[in-house]
Homo-oligomer: A and B are copies of this chain.
Amino acid sequence: MKLEQIDTPAALIDIARMQKNIARMQARMNTLGVAFRPHVKTTKSIDVVRAQLAAGARGITVSTLKEAEAFFAAGVTDILYAVGIVPSKLPRALALRRQGCDLKLVVDNPTAAAALAAFGDQHGERFEAWIEIDTDGHRSGIQPEQQTLLDVGRILHENGVTVGGVMTHAGSSYELNTPDALAALAEQERAGCVRAAERLRAAGIACPAVSVGSTPTALAARDLQGVTEVRAGVYVLFDLVMRNVGVCALDDIALSVLTTVIGHQEDKGWAILDAGWMALSRDRGTSRQSHDFGYGQPCLLNGTLLPGYVVSGANQEHGILAAVADGEPAGDIAQRFPIGMKLRILPNHACATGAQFPEYHAVAADGSSTEWPRFYGW
């Protein structure tokens, strides 16, 4: 199907840009001598994941058991479920392992560790758990020097659960925007996670895997001594938040929302789009960054940026395209953007925007497109 024939709003993936992003990340990981385990929560699309695996990724990271089930059904077996496990989710995890899925679970507290061990014992299943480490204070995990780390390690190790490794995610990297700050955080992430592994090993717990990552730290890391693998998700498509963080350029962004001009308010300088927040998502991640892109950056259908314009507002199925605040009033808005004109909007956050769509339209260099289904829910 050609771009002009796709019903709007629609989520487009520029295949060439995506492949370039995949190749760039994989090349960095190869240079740094670590395995790469992409976080597939960004796209939830087997077509994208196949491209990541074909480029050299080893295993995947998921954010939900539904992702684990869907990608295992599609043939991926090495899966890290990177959200802390709780007892109520263990039956689904067990079912996956019994079907042959090499599913690794994550724990960061003694209660969950003990529950996992008891459940495994009860069902005769040797689970594999990775211990989550907190290296930047932004969310979950055990700090490398905490006693709890060894407590959790021992509960698992002594009660029939394999301690497969330690993992951390320096999500505070999204708040940085200079190469030096990102490199420093990448080193902090590396050092903290390696230290945690060393403490476990010193206590007699093997801990083979040392897994770190976020897109910014993965691309900024200068050395990954002691790390065995890196995880990252949004790098595969990139977005305006990552552009502001400084790890991609606008023309690296592989995801856009195809939209149609459906009206105007000429006295206000507005063109009304059929992409509102349901299509663009409510994510306003760039509002706290150096460049606020509103609800997204408009481009022509061929991808040419329209730097003087922004999606300044959004209702559920209406977006408002206007000149940027410091730009000249768009007195010619209806002539510049006539009814029926198609545009593409670069999103603030690829994970949030993609989630609004049942499928991507993957666009090849010749402008033809293929549907890549994606799923949602838990």
| Inter-chain contact B316/A272, CB cutoff 8 Å | no
* Interface-facing stretch out of A191-199, A223-231, A246-254, A348-356: A348-356
How far does the alpha carbon of A47 sit from the alpha carbon of B3 in the complex, in Å?
Answer: 36
Interface flags, A233-249, vs B, CB<8A=1, else 0: 00000000000000000
Which residues of B sit under 8 angstroms from A358, Cβ to Cβ?
376-377
Assess whether A21 is interfacial by the CB under 8 Å rule.
no
Main SS class of interface, A: loop
| Inter-chain contact B265/A355, CB cutoff 8 Å | no
Interface flags, A78-118, vs B, CB<8A=1, else 0: 00000111111100100000000000000011011001000
Interface flags, A349-378, vs B, CB<8A=1, else 0: 001100111110000000000000000111
- Determine which of B63, B65, B264 lies in contact with A109 in the assembled complex, contact meaning CB atoms within 8 Å: B264
Assess whether A283 is interfacial by the CB under 8 Å rule.
yes
* Interface-facing stretch out of A7-15, A122-130, A303-311: A7-15
How far does the alpha carbon of A220 sit from the alpha carbon of B346 in the complex, in Å?
Answer: 39
Assess whether A339 is interfacial by the CB under 8 Å rule.
yes
Assess whether A317 is interfacial by the CB under 8 Å rule.
yes
| Inter-chain contact B262/A339, CB cutoff 8 Å | no
| Whole-angstrom distance between the Cβ of A315 and the nearest chain B Cβ | 6
Given A63-B317, A140-B265, A339-B109, A376 and B356 touching (CB < 8 A)? yes
Assess whether A263 is interfacial by the CB under 8 Å rule.
yes
Copies in the complex: 2
Given A83-B317, A88-B8, A339-B109, A355 and B278 touching (CB < 8 A)? yes
Assess whether A282 is interfacial by the CB under 8 Å rule.
yes
Assess whether A219 is interfacial by the CB under 8 Å rule.
no
How large, as a class, is the contact surface on chain A?
35 or more
- Determine which of B10, B315, B340 lies in contact with A378 in the assembled complex, contact meaning CB atoms within 8 Å: B10
Assess whether A177 is interfacial by the CB under 8 Å rule.
no
- Determine which of B9, B84, B279 lies in contact with A272 in the assembled complex, contact meaning CB atoms within 8 Å: B84
Which residues of B sit under 8 angstroms from A111, Cβ to Cβ?
338-340
Which residues of B sit under 8 angstroms from A291, Cβ to Cβ?
none
| Whole-angstrom distance between the Cβ of A135 and the nearest chain B Cβ | 13
| Whole-angstrom distance between the Cβ of A303 and the nearest chain B Cβ | 20
Interchain residue pairs with CB less than 8 A apart (27): A7-B378, A8-B88, A8-B378, A63-B316, A64-B317, A83-B317, A83-B318, A84-B272, A84-B274, A87-B340, A88-B260, A88-B340, A108-B263, A111-B339, A111-B340, A115-B340, A139-B315, A140-B318, A171-B315, A277-B352, A278-B355, A279-B378, A282-B284, A284-B284, A355-B356, A359-B377, A376-B376
Binding site for B on A (CB under 8 A): 7-10, 41, 63-65, 83-89, 92, 108-109, 111-112, 115, 134, 137, 139-140, 171, 260-265, 268, 272, 274, 277-279, 281-284, 315-318, 320, 338-340, 351-352, 355-359, 376-378
